[in-house]
A = this chain, B = another copy of it.
Amino acid sequence: MDHRTDETIKKIDHIFNPRSVAYVGASGNPGKWGYITLSNLIAAGFGGPIYPINPKANEILGRKVYRSVEALPEVPDLAVIVVPPPSVVPAVRACGEKGIRAGIVITAGFAELGERSGGLQQELADAAREGGMVLVGPNCNGAMNPRAKVHIQFPPFLAPPGPIAVVSQSGNVVDSLARQIMLRGFGCSKCVSTGNEAVLHTEDYLRYLAQDPDTKVILSYIEGFKDGRRFLEVAGEVSRKKPIVMLKVGKTRAGARAAMSHTASIAGADSVFEAACRQAGVIRAEGLDDLLDIGLAFLRQPLPKGRRVGVVTSGGGWGVLAADASNERGFDVIPLPDEVLKELDGFLPAWWNRGNPVDLVAGSMGEPIFKCVDALLRSESVDAAMVMGIMTALAGKRHPTASDKDGRTRWGAELTQGVVDVMERFNGMAEQYEKPVIVATEHMFADAILESRIVHALGQSNSVCYSMPHRAVAVLDALTRYGKYVGRMGVA
């Protein structure tokens, strides 16, 4: 890491871990960004000084307001800039002169509007460089670091602290992901909406996150690259340390056009990006849901060493769906080796299907599902196990009648704990054998509310059940591709 980059990382750290924050364009009007992002930072319980700046107000949200950047009593670590477009460049100049080294420009109206405003964006970049500043944006939705209680964004919720970082050119995609992460019981390390990337590019954040001890996996949404070569170079380095899962859009003509008018991004040929991803170890996701599903798997699962899978199913249909999806993605649903067949014969009923997927037919409640997965993982012919449906593992936890209210509440808590325990056993096996165990299941006896509680409880231990067979297979595919990259390149 060269000296200049080292400096940049320090400055980026001012964005996520500021000791103090100035708001250029703070507002007392609840409809304005200069109010919303300020009130969110206060509501998050940020501990350091906050300096609203507005020449026409004395107090906003109970805070003393300053007339100008120059008038501030100290040099804050971070400036949030929410003034109208023509005032942004002067504001950045003032920040640079004051000695501020990091800024977030939320204001839109730059290169995304086309030619003329592209010039304004260049002026902005020049002003930042001359002032020695790094900038998030413009045309962005800010940044979050839940651990540091930094919440400079539009949505009224802050995900809890956790191991997942989000770097996205779209602000509403950050919101989508952060919200899903929160609803599923997981947490975020750092989130940033990178906007038009006049100064800091996606790869700069990646480099920062590579050395961030709180980040275990990086989710990224990108519409286009400012400097494709540099991105690749950085991504290739970062990938050796941490997985980067990326959703690249603007694949089609309509998408590319939309990306241009959204963040002034030039999408580029998709085939080029696809090849580059493979080379740099970036794991490509196919949609927002896929992006998150894959990211979550990296928190607990070991990387598979090959494509030979064993599937255990609690229902024939889900088994067929898993087998189809596995084959379609290039997995080998192996014929079970003799020693595995023999072992399974020992405890499964005589009429079991003796095939892969192993179908846990009626009569296999309780332990058999664990014994099957254990036998598969122990086999040298199997690189990964998949489990379709964990209902048999929860035998004895059938629900009480609807009229027994106390019973239902108790049972709901028991079922939730039961699912968490089942997943801990599978995660333990995965760890023991160093082979992934990917689970897709329904929570058949739970209503929607209990299901959301179960999902949340799982996330609290960084554990995840996928909702559908094909999604579990997509996740295993991503783990396998990354495992191959890491095996080839070595891990830092």
Contact = CB atoms under 8 A, between A and B. Distances in A.
A274 B135 CA distance: 52
Interface stretch (A143-151, A254-262, A477-485): A254-262
A288 interface: yes
Contacts of A324: 249-252, 254-255, 258
Interface in A423-445: 442, 444-445
A183 interface: yes
Per DSSP, chain A at the interface is helix
Contact of A315 (B170, B319, B355, B456): B170
B289 A257 contact: no
A252 to B, nearest CB: 3
A249 B320 CA distance: 7
Interface string A37-76: 0000000000000000000000000000000000000000
A234 to B, nearest CB: 22
Given A253-B327, A315-B171, A328-B251, A320 B223 contact: yes
A295 to B, nearest CB: 16
A172 interface: yes
Contacts of A77: none
Contacts of A318: 170, 172-173, 176
Interface string A341-375: 00000000001010111010110000000000000
Contact of A316 (B172, B254, B351): B172
Contact of A263 (B176, B249, B316): B316
Interface residues of A, number: 74
Given A252-B323, A255-B323, A442-B176, A317 B448 contact: no
Contacts of A442: 175-176, 179
A389 interface: yes
Contact of A328 (B221, B252, B316, B467): B252
A361 B259 CA distance: 14
Interface in A363-419: 389, 398-399
A455 interface: yes
A470 interface: yes
Contacts of A469: 288
B444 A448 contact: no
A2 interface: no
A100 B447 CA distance: 37
Contacts of A321: 249, 255, 287-288
10 contacts: A33-B362, A108-B351, A155-B444, A172-B317, A251-B327, A251-B328, A254-B356, A261-B353, A263-B316, A288-B469
Given A255-B323, A327-B253, A447-B183, A317 B262 contact: yes
Interface in A173-194: 173, 175-176, 179, 183
Contacts of A475: none
